[in-house]
Amino acid sequence: MVAGGAARRLGGVLKPALSVGGRPLVRRVLDAAIAARPRVVVGPASLAPVLPDGVDLVQEQPPGGGPVAGLAAGVRLVPPGVRLVAVLSADLPFLTPSVLADLGAALADGGDVAVLLDGSGRPQWLCSVWRRTALVERLAAWPDPRGVRMRDLTRDAPARPVAVDGSGPPPWFDCDTEEDVRRAEEMLHDSR
């Protein structure tokens, strides 16, 4: 899970530690990925106090290198025997284990990556499940991944799009601004 970033639109706060529904954003995403082993968070050391036991914390070098640099740092901690890797942003308060299961199931008969589509049909690359070998191969194209954009990493990827139907808050909703955090709290309250 990538949990770095400067959170400029939030005034530079430690965004993954912001609370929605009484729980830090990063914990909400980790709860959705409860079945994953290992669970790796890429972010600053200041996140350590909000992470549960058994979660590995690593930071890309140099810090602030972007999400692809973060993925490269995180994937290094995933053993070669792990077949699927979830690539997640730490600011998805409504992500669920069933969404991750749907993404994994989409790769059951082949493909390199399954990506969640938002309500308008756009792929949300920071909510995807990759075959580990395909992700490692793509990352290897950039020996120095600093500043590499997700759209560069995912360009022409043979993706399996996954749309989620149902009621409740959308699992692709992310919290980039104070207004987003407020809306997330409202959606959570309204869904109870």
Judge whether 93 and 20 are in contact, CB under 8 Å. Answer: yes
- Domains, the chain, in order of start with CATH, read 8-190 (3.90.550.10)
> Residue 161: pLDDT above 90?
yes
Q: What three-state secondary structure class fits 115?
A: strand
For the segment 52-73, the average pLDDT, to the nearest whole number, is 92
pTM: predicted TM-score of the whole model, two decimal places: 0.92
Cα–Cα distance between 191 and 74 in angstroms, integer? 33
| Among the listed residues 60, 67, 68, 65, the one whose alpha carbon sits nearest the alpha carbon of residue 142 | 68
Does residue 126 come out as left (phi exceeding 0), alpha (psi in the -120 to 50 range) or beta? alpha
* Token couple for 192: 């109870």
Q: How confident is the model at residue 71 (pLDDT cuts 50, 70, 90)?
A: very high
Output the CA torsion 100→102→104→105 (10° steps).
160
For the segment 9-26, the average pLDDT, to the nearest whole number, is 83
Q: How confident is the model at residue 9 (pLDDT cuts 50, 70, 90)?
A: low
For the segment 23-29, the average pLDDT, to the nearest whole number, is 95
Cα–Cα distance between 154 and 190 in angstroms, integer? 35
For the segment 25-30, the average pLDDT, to the nearest whole number, is 96
The per-residue pLDDT for 19 is: 92
Judge whether 71 and 42 are in contact, CB under 8 Å. Answer: yes
| Among the listed residues 92, 97, 7, the one whose alpha carbon sits nearest the alpha carbon of residue 43 | 7
Q: Which one-letter DSSP state was computed for residue 52?
A: P
CA atoms within 13 A on the CB side of 183: 12
- Tell me the residue ranges of DSSP E strands in 25-168: 39-42, 55-58, 84-88, 113-117, 123-131, 159-162
